[in-house]
Structure 1
Protein backbone atom coordinates (compact mmCIF):
# COMPACT_ATOMS: atom_id res chain seq x y z
CA UNK A 1 0.00 0.00 0.00
CA UNK A 2 1.33 3.42 -0.99
CA UNK A 3 1.79 6.25 1.51
CA UNK A 4 1.18 8.77 -1.26
CA UNK A 5 -1.74 11.07 -0.69
CA UNK A 6 -4.40 10.74 -3.42
CA UNK A 7 -4.64 13.56 -5.94
CA UNK A 8 -7.96 15.23 -5.20
CA UNK A 9 -9.60 17.76 -7.53
CA UNK A 10 -12.36 20.17 -6.59
CA UNK A 11 -15.55 20.01 -8.65
CA UNK A 12 -18.22 22.69 -8.45
CA UNK A 13 -21.65 21.64 -9.72
CA UNK A 14 -23.10 24.72 -11.43
CA UNK A 15 -25.28 23.19 -14.14
CA UNK A 16 -28.73 23.44 -12.62
CA UNK A 17 -31.42 25.54 -14.23
CA UNK A 18 -31.89 27.78 -11.14
CA UNK A 19 -35.62 27.75 -11.96
CA UNK A 20 -36.78 28.13 -8.35
CA UNK A 21 -34.30 30.97 -7.75
CA UNK A 22 -35.25 32.76 -10.96
CA UNK A 23 -31.63 33.73 -11.70
CA UNK A 24 -28.37 31.84 -12.13
CA UNK A 25 -27.33 30.83 -8.58
CA UNK A 26 -23.65 30.91 -9.48
CA UNK A 27 -23.94 34.68 -10.03
CA UNK A 28 -25.62 35.47 -6.69
CA UNK A 29 -23.42 37.74 -4.61
CA UNK A 30 -22.27 36.55 -1.21
CA UNK A 31 -20.64 39.56 0.39
CA UNK A 32 -18.27 40.86 -2.31
CA UNK A 33 -18.06 37.76 -4.51
CA UNK A 34 -20.29 35.57 -6.65
CA UNK A 35 -21.22 32.14 -5.38
CA UNK A 36 -19.01 30.64 -8.08
CA UNK A 37 -16.04 32.67 -6.85
CA UNK A 38 -16.86 31.81 -3.22
CA UNK A 39 -17.02 28.09 -4.10
CA UNK A 40 -13.69 28.31 -5.92
CA UNK A 41 -12.11 30.05 -2.93
CA UNK A 42 -13.30 27.27 -0.58
CA UNK A 43 -11.57 24.67 -2.73
CA UNK A 44 -8.51 26.84 -3.24
CA UNK A 45 -8.16 27.19 0.54
CA UNK A 46 -7.74 23.41 0.62
CA UNK A 47 -5.08 23.56 -2.11
CA UNK A 48 -7.26 21.89 -4.74
CA UNK A 49 -7.33 22.52 -8.47
CA UNK A 50 -10.90 23.48 -9.24
CA UNK A 51 -13.14 22.60 -12.15
CA UNK A 52 -16.73 23.53 -12.91
CA UNK A 53 -19.42 21.23 -14.24
CA UNK A 54 -22.21 22.90 -16.18
CA UNK A 55 -23.23 26.51 -16.36
CA UNK A 56 -21.71 29.08 -18.68
CA UNK A 57 -18.12 28.48 -17.56
CA UNK A 58 -18.18 24.75 -16.89
CA UNK A 59 -17.68 21.49 -18.69
CA UNK A 60 -20.66 20.49 -20.81
CA UNK A 61 -22.80 17.61 -19.59
CA UNK A 62 -22.47 14.33 -21.48
CA UNK A 63 -26.12 13.67 -20.65
CA UNK A 64 -28.05 16.97 -20.45
CA UNK A 65 -30.36 17.60 -17.49
CA UNK A 66 -29.09 14.58 -15.55
CA UNK A 67 -28.73 16.38 -12.22
CA UNK A 68 -25.71 16.33 -9.91
CA UNK A 69 -24.84 12.73 -10.77
CA UNK A 70 -24.74 13.74 -14.43
CA UNK A 71 -22.29 16.52 -13.61
CA UNK A 72 -20.04 14.09 -11.78
CA UNK A 73 -20.26 11.57 -14.62
CA UNK A 74 -19.46 14.23 -17.22
CA UNK A 75 -16.46 15.49 -15.26
CA UNK A 76 -14.95 12.02 -15.11
CA UNK A 77 -14.81 12.00 -18.91
CA UNK A 78 -12.35 14.92 -18.74
CA UNK A 79 -10.62 15.06 -15.36
CA UNK A 80 -7.75 12.86 -14.27
CA UNK A 81 -7.62 12.48 -10.50
CA UNK A 82 -7.71 9.94 -7.69
CA UNK A 83 -10.63 11.69 -5.98
CA UNK A 84 -13.13 14.53 -6.33
CA UNK A 85 -14.33 16.93 -3.69
CA UNK A 86 -17.74 17.84 -5.09
CA UNK A 87 -19.78 20.81 -3.94
CA UNK A 88 -22.84 22.56 -5.28
CA UNK A 89 -22.65 26.24 -6.14
CA UNK A 90 -25.56 27.10 -3.82
CA UNK A 91 -24.19 26.61 -0.28
CA UNK A 92 -23.30 30.11 0.95
CA UNK A 93 -22.47 29.05 4.54
CA UNK A 94 -20.17 26.15 3.68
CA UNK A 95 -16.77 26.23 5.42
CA UNK A 96 -13.31 24.93 4.57
CA UNK A 97 -13.31 23.09 7.92
CA UNK A 98 -16.29 20.92 6.86
CA UNK A 99 -14.75 20.20 3.46
CA UNK A 100 -11.40 19.34 5.04
CA UNK A 101 -13.15 16.86 7.35
CA UNK A 102 -14.77 15.12 4.35
CA UNK A 103 -11.40 14.85 2.61
CA UNK A 104 -9.64 13.61 5.73
CA UNK A 105 -12.14 10.84 6.44
CA UNK A 106 -12.51 9.94 2.75
CA UNK A 107 -8.77 9.68 2.18
CA UNK A 108 -8.32 7.63 5.32
CA UNK A 109 -11.17 5.19 4.55
CA UNK A 110 -10.97 5.21 0.75
CA UNK A 111 -14.77 5.49 0.40
CA UNK A 112 -17.22 8.23 -0.60
CA UNK A 113 -18.02 10.51 2.34
CA UNK A 114 -20.77 13.09 2.89
CA UNK A 115 -22.68 14.44 5.88
CA UNK A 116 -25.78 12.71 7.26
CA UNK A 117 -28.82 13.25 5.05
CA UNK A 118 -26.92 15.75 2.90
CA UNK A 119 -25.29 14.15 -0.13
CA UNK A 120 -23.38 17.25 -1.19
CA UNK A 121 -20.66 18.27 -0.50
CA UNK A 122 -19.09 14.89 -1.20
CA UNK A 123 -15.63 13.35 -1.14
CA UNK A 124 -15.58 10.79 -3.93
CA UNK A 125 -12.70 8.40 -4.68
CA UNK A 126 -12.30 7.92 -8.42
CA UNK A 127 -11.79 4.24 -9.13
CA UNK A 128 -13.03 1.43 -11.36
CA UNK A 129 -16.03 0.79 -9.08
CA UNK A 130 -17.23 4.39 -9.46
CA UNK A 131 -16.63 4.46 -13.21
CA UNK A 132 -18.42 1.12 -13.75
CA UNK A 133 -21.37 2.20 -11.59
CA UNK A 134 -21.79 5.47 -13.51
CA UNK A 135 -21.36 3.78 -16.89
CA UNK A 136 -24.22 1.42 -15.96
CA UNK A 137 -26.46 4.23 -14.68
CA UNK A 138 -25.90 6.34 -17.79
CA UNK A 139 -26.01 3.48 -20.30
CA UNK A 140 -28.64 3.95 -22.99
CA UNK A 141 -31.94 2.51 -21.80
CA UNK A 142 -30.80 2.16 -18.19
CA UNK A 143 -33.61 2.31 -15.65
CA UNK A 144 -31.27 2.85 -12.68
CA UNK A 145 -31.99 6.03 -10.71
CA UNK A 146 -29.58 8.91 -11.25
CA UNK A 147 -29.21 9.55 -7.56
CA UNK A 148 -26.18 10.40 -5.44
CA UNK A 149 -27.88 8.65 -2.52
CA UNK A 150 -28.14 5.39 -4.52
CA UNK A 151 -24.54 5.76 -5.71
CA UNK A 152 -23.30 6.19 -2.13
CA UNK A 153 -25.18 3.10 -1.06
CA UNK A 154 -23.80 1.05 -3.96
CA UNK A 155 -20.22 2.18 -3.29
CA UNK A 156 -20.27 1.74 0.49
CA UNK A 157 -20.28 5.46 1.24
CA UNK A 158 -20.10 6.87 4.76
CA UNK A 159 -22.28 9.65 6.20
CA UNK A 160 -20.73 11.73 8.97
CA UNK A 161 -22.82 13.17 11.81
CA UNK A 162 -22.97 16.94 12.11
CA UNK A 163 -24.56 18.82 14.98
CA UNK A 164 -24.65 22.28 13.34
CA UNK A 165 -26.40 21.84 10.00
CA UNK A 166 -26.52 25.54 9.08
CA UNK A 167 -23.34 25.39 6.96
CA UNK A 168 -25.07 22.82 4.75
CA UNK A 169 -28.00 25.07 3.88
CA UNK A 170 -28.39 25.32 0.14
CA UNK A 171 -30.30 28.24 -1.28
CA UNK A 172 -32.68 27.24 -4.05
CA UNK A 173 -35.27 30.01 -3.69
CA UNK A 174 -35.05 33.76 -3.05
CA UNK A 175 -36.45 33.17 0.43
CA UNK A 176 -33.79 30.54 1.25
CA UNK A 177 -31.12 32.91 -0.08
CA UNK A 178 -32.34 35.77 2.10
CA UNK A 179 -32.42 33.49 5.15
CA UNK A 180 -28.83 32.34 4.49
CA UNK A 181 -27.67 35.95 4.00
CA UNK A 182 -29.31 36.90 7.32
CA UNK A 183 -27.39 34.09 9.05
CA UNK A 184 -24.16 35.24 7.40
CA UNK A 185 -24.79 38.87 8.46
CA UNK A 186 -25.52 37.65 11.98
CA UNK A 187 -21.99 36.27 12.25
CA UNK A 188 -22.54 32.60 11.40
CA UNK A 189 -19.21 30.83 12.12
CA UNK A 190 -17.23 30.71 8.85
CA UNK A 191 -14.16 28.70 9.90
Structure 2
Protein backbone atom coordinates (compact mmCIF):
# COMPACT_ATOMS: atom_id res chain seq x y z
CA UNK A 1 0.00 0.00 0.00
CA UNK A 2 1.43 3.37 -1.02
CA UNK A 3 1.77 6.49 1.08
CA UNK A 4 -0.98 8.96 1.86
CA UNK A 5 -0.69 12.50 3.20
CA UNK A 6 -2.96 15.24 4.47
CA UNK A 7 -2.01 18.76 3.40
CA UNK A 8 -2.83 20.91 6.42
CA UNK A 9 -0.54 23.91 6.31
CA UNK A 10 -3.05 26.51 5.13
CA UNK A 11 -3.62 29.93 6.67
CA UNK A 12 -7.46 29.82 6.95
CA UNK A 13 -7.64 33.57 6.28
CA UNK A 14 -11.12 33.54 4.76
CA UNK A 15 -12.48 31.23 7.45
CA UNK A 16 -11.55 33.58 10.28
CA UNK A 17 -10.09 30.87 12.55
CA UNK A 18 -7.93 27.77 12.25
CA UNK A 19 -10.34 25.65 10.24
CA UNK A 20 -8.25 22.52 10.74
CA UNK A 21 -9.81 22.21 14.20
CA UNK A 22 -13.36 23.12 13.16
CA UNK A 23 -15.72 20.30 14.08
CA UNK A 24 -18.21 18.65 11.78
CA UNK A 25 -20.24 16.35 13.95
CA UNK A 26 -17.92 14.80 16.54
CA UNK A 27 -14.63 15.25 14.65
CA UNK A 28 -12.57 18.20 13.48
CA UNK A 29 -11.33 18.52 9.92
CA UNK A 30 -7.88 17.13 10.67
CA UNK A 31 -9.40 14.06 12.32
CA UNK A 32 -11.77 13.49 9.41
CA UNK A 33 -8.98 13.73 6.82
CA UNK A 34 -6.53 11.63 8.85
CA UNK A 35 -9.14 8.91 9.39
CA UNK A 36 -9.54 8.56 5.62
CA UNK A 37 -5.79 8.27 5.12
CA UNK A 38 -5.50 5.88 8.07
CA UNK A 39 -8.12 3.62 6.52
CA UNK A 40 -6.37 3.60 3.15
CA UNK A 41 -2.60 3.62 3.67
CA UNK A 42 0.00 1.97 5.87
CA UNK A 43 2.42 4.90 5.58
CA UNK A 44 0.74 8.12 6.66
CA UNK A 45 1.90 11.72 6.76
CA UNK A 46 0.53 15.05 7.92
CA UNK A 47 2.09 18.12 6.32
CA UNK A 48 1.69 21.24 8.45
CA UNK A 49 2.99 24.75 9.08
CA UNK A 50 5.90 25.47 11.41
CA UNK A 51 3.59 26.47 14.29
CA UNK A 52 1.70 23.17 14.44
CA UNK A 53 2.50 21.45 17.75
CA UNK A 54 0.04 18.56 17.90
CA UNK A 55 0.65 14.84 17.62
CA UNK A 56 -1.58 12.65 15.49
CA UNK A 57 -1.47 8.96 16.28
CA UNK A 58 0.06 6.78 13.53
CA UNK A 59 1.09 9.81 11.45
CA UNK A 60 4.52 11.21 10.67
CA UNK A 61 4.45 15.00 10.93
CA UNK A 62 6.27 16.97 8.23
CA UNK A 63 6.62 20.73 8.62
CA UNK A 64 6.71 22.97 5.57
CA UNK A 65 10.28 23.74 4.56
CA UNK A 66 9.12 26.87 2.76
CA UNK A 67 6.22 28.29 4.81
CA UNK A 68 2.96 29.64 3.43
CA UNK A 69 3.41 28.46 -0.15
CA UNK A 70 0.33 26.29 -0.47
CA UNK A 71 0.00 22.70 -1.66
CA UNK A 72 3.02 22.77 -3.96
CA UNK A 73 5.17 23.80 -1.01
CA UNK A 74 3.73 20.90 0.98
CA UNK A 75 4.46 18.39 -1.77
CA UNK A 76 7.98 19.78 -2.08
CA UNK A 77 8.52 19.33 1.68
CA UNK A 78 7.16 15.77 1.49
CA UNK A 79 9.64 14.63 -1.14
CA UNK A 80 12.54 16.38 0.58
CA UNK A 81 11.74 14.78 3.95
CA UNK A 82 10.80 11.24 2.89
CA UNK A 83 12.06 8.47 0.63
CA UNK A 84 8.61 7.67 -0.75
CA UNK A 85 8.37 7.14 -4.51
CA UNK A 86 4.89 8.64 -4.64
CA UNK A 87 1.97 9.72 -2.52
CA UNK A 88 -1.72 10.53 -2.59
CA UNK A 89 -2.27 14.00 -1.16
CA UNK A 90 -5.63 15.15 0.15
CA UNK A 91 -6.53 18.58 1.53
CA UNK A 92 -7.61 19.02 5.13
CA UNK A 93 -10.68 21.03 4.10
CA UNK A 94 -12.52 18.52 1.85
CA UNK A 95 -14.40 16.48 4.47
CA UNK A 96 -16.67 14.69 1.99
CA UNK A 97 -13.95 12.88 0.03
CA UNK A 98 -14.57 9.15 0.10
CA UNK A 99 -12.07 6.43 0.91
CA UNK A 100 -12.94 4.75 -2.40
CA UNK A 101 -11.93 7.85 -4.37
CA UNK A 102 -8.68 8.12 -2.42
CA UNK A 103 -7.94 4.44 -3.13
CA UNK A 104 -8.66 5.00 -6.81
CA UNK A 105 -6.11 7.81 -6.92
CA UNK A 106 -3.51 5.46 -5.44
CA UNK A 107 -4.24 2.90 -8.17
CA UNK A 108 -3.13 5.43 -10.80
CA UNK A 109 0.47 5.32 -9.56
CA UNK A 110 1.89 4.38 -12.96
CA UNK A 111 1.46 8.04 -13.84
CA UNK A 112 3.54 10.91 -12.49
CA UNK A 113 0.39 12.83 -11.57
CA UNK A 114 -3.27 11.89 -11.22
CA UNK A 115 -5.71 14.76 -10.73
CA UNK A 116 -9.38 15.67 -11.11
CA UNK A 117 -11.13 17.74 -13.76
CA UNK A 118 -14.77 18.50 -12.95
CA UNK A 119 -16.84 20.85 -15.11
CA UNK A 120 -13.66 22.15 -16.75
CA UNK A 121 -12.19 23.09 -13.37
CA UNK A 122 -8.87 21.53 -12.47
CA UNK A 123 -8.42 20.07 -8.98
CA UNK A 124 -4.70 19.30 -8.52
CA UNK A 125 -5.52 18.20 -4.95
CA UNK A 126 -6.71 15.59 -4.12
CA UNK A 127 -4.21 13.87 -6.35
CA UNK A 128 -1.39 11.40 -6.76
CA UNK A 129 2.15 12.73 -7.26
CA UNK A 130 5.23 10.68 -8.13
CA UNK A 131 8.75 11.52 -7.01
CA UNK A 132 9.49 11.98 -10.71
CA UNK A 133 7.95 15.47 -10.45
CA UNK A 134 10.34 16.59 -7.70
CA UNK A 135 12.90 18.12 -10.05
CA UNK A 136 10.22 20.09 -11.89
CA UNK A 137 8.80 21.33 -8.57
CA UNK A 138 12.25 22.47 -7.46
CA UNK A 139 12.75 24.28 -10.76
CA UNK A 140 9.43 26.10 -10.29
CA UNK A 141 10.32 27.06 -6.72
CA UNK A 142 13.64 28.51 -7.84
CA UNK A 143 11.62 30.75 -10.15
CA UNK A 144 9.18 31.67 -7.36
CA UNK A 145 6.29 29.81 -9.00
CA UNK A 146 4.15 27.83 -6.54
CA UNK A 147 1.26 27.01 -8.90
CA UNK A 148 0.23 23.36 -9.03
CA UNK A 149 -1.69 24.05 -12.22
CA UNK A 150 1.52 25.23 -13.88
CA UNK A 151 3.18 22.01 -12.70
CA UNK A 152 0.42 19.97 -14.36
CA UNK A 153 1.10 21.69 -17.67
CA UNK A 154 4.76 20.66 -17.55
CA UNK A 155 4.26 16.99 -16.71
CA UNK A 156 3.64 14.68 -19.67
CA UNK A 157 2.87 11.39 -17.90
CA UNK A 158 -0.36 12.30 -16.15
CA UNK A 159 -3.95 11.11 -15.98
CA UNK A 160 -7.13 13.07 -15.48
CA UNK A 161 -10.14 11.82 -13.54
CA UNK A 162 -13.12 13.29 -15.35
CA UNK A 163 -16.76 13.67 -14.39
CA UNK A 164 -17.69 10.28 -15.85
CA UNK A 165 -15.18 8.58 -13.53
CA UNK A 166 -15.90 10.82 -10.57
CA UNK A 167 -19.63 10.10 -10.33
CA UNK A 168 -18.81 6.46 -9.53
CA UNK A 169 -17.73 7.70 -6.10
CA UNK A 170 -20.66 9.99 -5.33
CA UNK A 171 -21.96 13.44 -6.13
CA UNK A 172 -18.88 15.32 -7.43
CA UNK A 173 -20.06 18.65 -6.05
CA UNK A 174 -20.20 17.13 -2.57
CA UNK A 175 -17.00 15.09 -2.94
CA UNK A 176 -15.01 18.18 -3.93
CA UNK A 177 -16.67 20.65 -1.58
CA UNK A 178 -14.03 22.47 0.42
CA UNK A 179 -14.52 24.72 3.40
CA UNK A 180 -13.12 28.19 2.86
CA UNK A 181 -15.61 30.60 4.46
CA UNK A 182 -18.02 30.54 7.40
CA UNK A 183 -20.89 30.73 4.89
CA UNK A 184 -19.94 27.29 3.61
CA UNK A 185 -21.22 25.84 6.87
CA UNK A 186 -24.84 26.34 5.78
CA UNK A 187 -24.35 23.82 2.98
CA UNK A 188 -22.63 21.43 5.36
CA UNK A 189 -25.64 21.46 7.67
CA UNK A 190 -27.76 20.18 4.80
CA UNK A 191 -25.28 17.48 3.81
CA UNK A 192 -24.83 16.30 7.39
CA UNK A 193 -28.35 14.93 7.19
CA UNK A 194 -27.24 12.72 4.30
CA UNK A 195 -23.89 11.52 5.62
CA UNK A 196 -22.24 10.59 8.92
CA UNK A 197 -18.58 10.95 9.89
> TM (normalized to structure 1)?
0.84
Equivalent residue pairs, number: 176
Alignment match of 2:12 (pick from 18, 27, 49)? 18
Matching of residues 141-180 of structure 1 within 5 Å: 142-143=143-144, 145-156=145-156, 157-161=158-162, 162-163=166-167, 164-165=171-172, 166-180=174-188
> What corresponds to 1:113 in structure 2?
114
Matching of residues 117-136 of structure 1 within 5 Å: 117-127=122-132, 130-136=133-139
Task: Tell me if the contact between 2:20 and 2:29 (Cα under 8 Å) persists in the aligned partners.
Answer: yes
Compute the displacement of 1:188 (Å). 4.3
> Which structure carries more strand by proportion?
2
Runs of at least 4 residues off by over 6 Å: none
Paired with 1:188 and 1:153, the residues of 2 have a C-alpha distance of 36
Runs of at least 5 residues in structure 1 that lack an aligned partner in the other structure: 1-6
Runs of at least 5 residues in structure 2 that lack an aligned partner in the other structure: 55-60
Paired with 1:93 and 1:148, the residues of 2 have a C-alpha distance of 22
Alignment match of 2:32 (pick from 38, 53, 74)? 38
Q: CA RMSD in A?
A: 1.9
> TM (normalized to structure 2)?
0.82
Residue 81 of structure 2 corresponds to residue 92 of structure 1: no
Task: Tell me if the contact between 2:111 and 2:159 (Cα under 8 Å) persists in the aligned partners.
Answer: no
C-alpha distance 80-19 of structure 1, shift in aligned 2 (>3 A): same
